[in-house]
Amino acid sequence: MTFKTLTATAVALAAAAGPALSDTAESALIGMWTTPLSAQQAPGGGASAFLRQTVIFTDTRQDIRAEVFADPAGEMPIFTYASSGPYVAVGASDVVQGALNLELVNETSEVTLFMEVPDLMAAVGMGGCDLIVGEAIDVTTCISGPPFLVTDCTDLDLVLVDENGTRLRFGDQSVDRCVARPTELDATAFRKAE
């Protein structure tokens, strides 16, 4: 056997040995994706709250909803953040294998407050927003820090759909995505709901 034949055989065996991450097609994003309710430490070390996130992709738009609760059963809502806008796929990631680069624009960013929690709202960058319990308020111009800071810029992100199209992960959400695209995946996993 020649070196050329051995090399070709080795490459073929490596490809057959295990599935590599497949490239995320734009069509794989379409549908509703959700996370389970999970305990989250508030930024700055505040009290824990419980978070559930939902994202819906159509062929041109993305809707995101983050629901924050005071209890692990999800029966005592604190606030809900909702944003919506168009997105564009801008090619394969050159740093995260199989991921697709996205550019997202939030045309709307609203928060509905269900209980007064000024320390928590300050910790998530909304301490300067004039929020009213029970009303959806536009927060596009008053957010001052993460994690909701991408309300008034083009959100440079990436997304990976894997596990046979059942799991979706965005890029690292602690990165300032108004300035730079993440270079690794966020730990949060969304599961296909419909």
pLDDT of residue 18: 36
pLDDT of residue 40: 85
5 within domain boundaries: no
User: CA torsion 85→86→88→93, rounded to 10°?
Assistant: 20
Its pTM surpasses 0.85? no
Residues of the chain below pLDDT 50: 1-22
Tokens 């959700």, located at residue: 34
The number of distinct structural domains making up the chain is 1
14 within domain boundaries: no
pLDDT of residue 7: 32
3 within domain boundaries: no
Provide the domain limits for residue 69: 21-192
Q: Is 108 left (phi over 0), alpha (psi -120 to 50) or beta?
A: beta
pLDDT of residue 97: 94
pLDDT of residue 152: 67
- Encode pLDDT of 105-126 as tens digits: 988 889 999 999 888 888 888 8
Distance of CA 28 to the CA centre of its chain: 15
Distance of CA 104 to the CA centre of its chain: 11
143 within domain boundaries: yes
172 within domain boundaries: yes
Contacts of 87 (CB under 8 A, 6+ apart): 57, 60, 61, 62, 102, 103, 104, 105
99 within domain boundaries: yes
